[in-house]
Amino acid sequence: MAKKPSKALSIAPAPPPTTIRQMGNELVRVDAVYHVQDVAPNSPGPWNIEAEKVAWIDAATGYGCIIRRSAGGGHLEGYVGVKPGHPLFGYSASALRDLGLRVHGGINYAEPCLGPEPEDRSVCHISLDERMRTSQTPVHAQARDDMWWIGFECNQPTDLVPKQRASSASSQLLGTVEQVYRDEGYVLDQCRWLAEQMKAIGDGHMILSGIES
Protein backbone atom coordinates (compact mmCIF):
# COMPACT_ATOMS: atom_id res chain seq x y z
CA MET A 1 0.00 0.00 0.00
CA ALA A 2 1.43 3.32 -1.04
CA LYS A 3 2.25 5.78 1.69
CA LYS A 4 0.25 8.96 1.83
CA PRO A 5 2.34 11.89 0.69
CA SER A 6 3.53 13.87 3.65
CA LYS A 7 2.28 17.41 3.93
CA ALA A 8 4.86 20.00 2.98
CA LEU A 9 5.86 22.24 5.83
CA SER A 10 4.62 25.80 5.41
CA ILE A 11 7.34 28.22 6.44
CA ALA A 12 6.30 31.81 6.96
CA PRO A 13 8.74 34.43 5.73
CA ALA A 14 10.95 35.79 8.48
CA PRO A 15 10.04 39.30 9.62
CA PRO A 16 12.56 42.08 8.96
CA PRO A 17 15.27 42.19 11.62
CA THR A 18 14.76 44.77 14.34
CA THR A 19 17.67 46.93 15.39
CA ILE A 20 17.33 48.46 18.82
CA ARG A 21 19.70 51.27 19.70
CA GLN A 22 20.15 53.14 22.93
CA MET A 23 20.18 56.87 22.34
CA GLY A 24 20.45 58.85 25.54
CA ASN A 25 18.25 57.09 28.10
CA GLU A 26 15.95 55.49 25.52
CA LEU A 27 15.88 52.34 23.42
CA VAL A 28 14.75 53.15 19.88
CA ARG A 29 13.91 50.87 16.96
CA VAL A 30 16.09 52.06 14.10
CA ASP A 31 16.46 51.08 10.45
CA ALA A 32 20.18 51.66 10.06
CA VAL A 33 23.30 52.45 12.10
CA TYR A 34 26.56 53.36 10.38
CA HIS A 35 30.05 53.86 11.80
CA VAL A 36 32.21 55.81 9.33
CA GLN A 37 35.88 55.92 10.28
CA ASP A 38 36.91 58.93 8.20
CA VAL A 39 34.05 61.02 9.64
CA ALA A 40 34.43 60.03 13.31
CA PRO A 41 36.41 62.43 15.55
CA ASN A 42 39.86 61.17 16.59
CA SER A 43 39.87 62.81 20.02
CA PRO A 44 38.47 61.01 23.09
CA GLY A 45 34.99 62.00 24.18
CA PRO A 46 31.35 60.86 24.45
CA TRP A 47 31.19 60.72 20.64
CA ASN A 48 33.47 57.65 20.67
CA ILE A 49 30.52 55.37 21.50
CA GLU A 50 28.19 57.00 18.98
CA ALA A 51 27.55 56.30 15.30
CA GLU A 52 28.11 58.62 12.35
CA LYS A 53 24.59 58.05 11.04
CA VAL A 54 21.39 56.63 12.52
CA ALA A 55 18.13 56.46 10.54
CA TRP A 56 14.69 55.53 11.82
CA ILE A 57 10.95 56.17 11.50
CA ASP A 58 9.57 58.26 14.36
CA ALA A 59 6.94 56.11 16.06
CA ALA A 60 4.68 59.01 17.05
CA THR A 61 4.51 60.78 13.68
CA GLY A 62 5.58 58.20 11.07
CA TYR A 63 8.16 60.66 9.70
CA GLY A 64 11.64 59.61 8.62
CA CYS A 65 14.44 60.89 10.86
CA ILE A 66 18.21 60.94 10.56
CA ILE A 67 21.05 61.79 12.92
CA ARG A 68 24.26 62.35 10.98
CA ARG A 69 27.73 63.45 12.02
CA SER A 70 29.32 66.39 10.25
CA ALA A 71 32.53 65.41 8.50
CA GLY A 72 33.87 68.91 9.09
CA GLY A 73 33.28 69.51 12.79
CA GLY A 74 32.42 66.05 14.07
CA HIS A 75 29.22 67.40 15.67
CA LEU A 76 25.79 65.87 15.13
CA GLU A 77 23.07 67.08 12.79
CA GLY A 78 19.39 66.16 12.84
CA TYR A 79 16.95 65.81 9.94
CA VAL A 80 13.24 65.08 9.51
CA GLY A 81 11.73 64.24 6.12
CA VAL A 82 8.33 65.19 4.72
CA LYS A 83 6.77 63.58 1.66
CA PRO A 84 5.30 65.26 -1.44
CA GLY A 85 1.99 66.91 -0.60
CA HIS A 86 3.11 68.12 2.83
CA PRO A 87 2.74 71.94 3.17
CA LEU A 88 6.48 72.30 3.92
CA PHE A 89 7.66 70.21 0.97
CA GLY A 90 10.00 72.24 -1.25
CA TYR A 91 10.52 75.18 1.10
CA SER A 92 14.08 76.50 1.36
CA ALA A 93 15.94 76.62 4.67
CA SER A 94 15.77 80.41 4.78
CA ALA A 95 12.01 80.37 4.18
CA LEU A 96 11.50 77.76 6.90
CA ARG A 97 13.48 79.84 9.39
CA ASP A 98 11.14 82.75 8.73
CA LEU A 99 8.05 80.54 9.18
CA GLY A 100 8.78 79.92 12.85
CA LEU A 101 9.73 76.23 13.06
CA ARG A 102 11.54 75.77 16.37
CA VAL A 103 14.53 73.49 16.86
CA HIS A 104 18.07 73.69 18.23
CA GLY A 105 19.91 76.51 16.45
CA GLY A 106 17.10 76.95 13.92
CA ILE A 107 16.58 75.35 10.52
CA ASN A 108 19.69 75.47 8.33
CA TYR A 109 18.98 72.69 5.80
CA ALA A 110 16.14 71.90 3.40
CA GLU A 111 16.92 69.69 0.42
CA PRO A 112 15.68 66.58 -1.38
CA CYS A 113 17.57 63.31 -1.13
CA LEU A 114 20.84 64.18 -2.84
CA GLY A 115 22.26 61.29 -4.86
CA PRO A 116 24.38 59.63 -5.82
CA GLU A 117 25.81 59.22 -2.32
CA PRO A 118 26.49 56.05 -0.33
CA GLU A 119 23.78 55.64 2.26
CA ASP A 120 26.16 55.64 5.22
CA ARG A 121 26.81 59.38 4.84
CA SER A 122 23.82 60.71 2.90
CA VAL A 123 20.82 62.73 4.02
CA CYS A 124 18.52 60.04 2.63
CA HIS A 125 16.65 57.25 4.31
CA ILE A 126 15.95 53.78 2.95
CA SER A 127 13.48 52.24 5.40
CA LEU A 128 14.07 48.78 6.82
CA ASP A 129 10.98 47.38 5.06
CA GLU A 130 12.04 48.89 1.72
CA ARG A 131 15.57 47.56 2.10
CA MET A 132 14.26 44.06 2.79
CA ARG A 133 11.87 44.30 -0.16
CA THR A 134 14.54 45.34 -2.65
CA SER A 135 17.40 43.38 -1.01
CA GLN A 136 19.67 46.42 -1.20
CA THR A 137 23.12 46.29 0.34
CA PRO A 138 22.89 49.37 2.56
CA VAL A 139 26.34 50.92 2.50
CA HIS A 140 27.01 50.30 -1.18
CA ALA A 141 23.53 51.16 -2.44
CA GLN A 142 22.86 54.70 -3.56
CA ALA A 143 20.22 55.95 -1.16
CA ARG A 144 17.04 57.21 -2.80
CA ASP A 145 13.82 58.50 -1.32
CA ASP A 146 11.13 61.01 -2.23
CA MET A 147 11.33 63.09 0.93
CA TRP A 148 12.22 66.73 1.48
CA TRP A 149 14.70 66.79 4.35
CA ILE A 150 14.63 69.61 6.88
CA GLY A 151 17.47 69.83 9.36
CA PHE A 152 19.59 71.59 11.95
CA GLU A 153 23.17 71.45 13.28
CA CYS A 154 24.65 71.21 16.76
CA ASN A 155 27.51 73.63 16.12
CA GLN A 156 26.02 76.67 17.78
CA PRO A 157 28.05 78.98 20.08
CA THR A 158 26.99 76.97 23.14
CA ASP A 159 27.77 73.61 21.48
CA LEU A 160 31.02 71.74 21.95
CA VAL A 161 32.26 70.73 18.48
CA PRO A 162 34.56 67.65 18.74
CA LYS A 163 37.02 68.62 16.01
CA GLN A 164 37.35 72.11 17.49
CA ARG A 165 37.64 70.88 21.05
CA ALA A 166 41.00 72.55 21.80
CA SER A 167 39.77 76.04 20.94
CA SER A 168 36.46 75.33 22.71
CA ALA A 169 38.31 74.35 25.90
CA SER A 170 40.30 77.58 25.73
CA SER A 171 37.10 79.60 25.40
CA GLN A 172 35.60 77.88 28.43
CA LEU A 173 38.70 78.62 30.51
CA LEU A 174 38.39 82.28 29.58
CA GLY A 175 34.79 82.22 30.76
CA THR A 176 33.47 83.54 27.47
CA VAL A 177 31.08 80.70 26.71
CA GLU A 178 29.86 77.49 28.32
CA GLN A 179 29.84 74.75 25.70
CA VAL A 180 28.05 71.39 25.87
CA TYR A 181 28.36 68.41 23.54
CA ARG A 182 24.92 67.61 22.06
CA ASP A 183 24.79 63.83 21.98
CA GLU A 184 22.52 61.31 20.23
CA GLY A 185 19.94 61.48 23.01
CA TYR A 186 19.68 65.25 22.72
CA VAL A 187 19.43 65.21 18.92
CA LEU A 188 16.82 62.42 19.11
CA ASP A 189 14.63 64.66 21.28
CA GLN A 190 15.11 67.60 18.90
CA CYS A 191 14.19 65.46 15.87
CA ARG A 192 11.03 64.32 17.63
CA TRP A 193 10.12 67.88 18.52
CA LEU A 194 10.64 68.99 14.92
CA ALA A 195 8.63 66.00 13.62
CA GLU A 196 5.75 66.89 15.98
CA GLN A 197 5.64 70.42 14.58
CA MET A 198 5.73 69.12 11.00
CA LYS A 199 2.92 66.66 11.66
CA ALA A 200 0.80 69.36 13.29
CA ILE A 201 1.30 71.51 10.19
CA GLY A 202 0.52 68.60 7.88
CA ASP A 203 -2.66 67.79 9.82
CA GLY A 204 -3.74 71.42 9.80
CA HIS A 205 -3.45 71.78 13.58
CA MET A 206 -0.61 74.30 13.46
CA ILE A 207 -0.63 77.26 11.13
CA LEU A 208 2.53 79.22 10.39
CA SER A 209 2.53 82.62 8.72
CA GLY A 210 3.46 82.27 5.06
CA ILE A 211 2.03 78.75 4.67
CA GLU A 212 -0.84 78.75 2.23
CA SER A 213 -3.79 76.60 3.22
Q: How far is CA 16 from CA 70, 114, 155, in A?
A: 30, 26, 36
Between 192 and 128, the more confident residue is 192
Between 95 and 144, the more confident residue is 95
What tens digit of pLDDT does each residue of 177-211 get?
A: 789 999 999 999 999 999 999 999 999 987 666 56
Q: Where are the domains of the chain?
A: 30-202
Q: What integer best gives the mean pLDDT of the chain?
A: 83
In the predicted model, is pLDDT for residue 30 greater than 60? yes
In the predicted model, is pLDDT for residue 9 greater than 50? no
Q: How confident is the model at residue 130 (pLDDT cuts 50, 70, 90)?
A: low
In the predicted model, is pLDDT for residue 126 greater than 90? no
Please compute the mean of the pLDDT values over residues 101-111 and round it to a whole number: 96
What residues are paired with 112 via a beta bridge? Answer: 148
What tens digit of pLDDT does each residue of 162-178 get?
A: 998 755 444 454 457 78
Q: How far is CA 182 from CA 89, 187, 192, 194, 200, in A?
A: 27, 7, 15, 16, 26
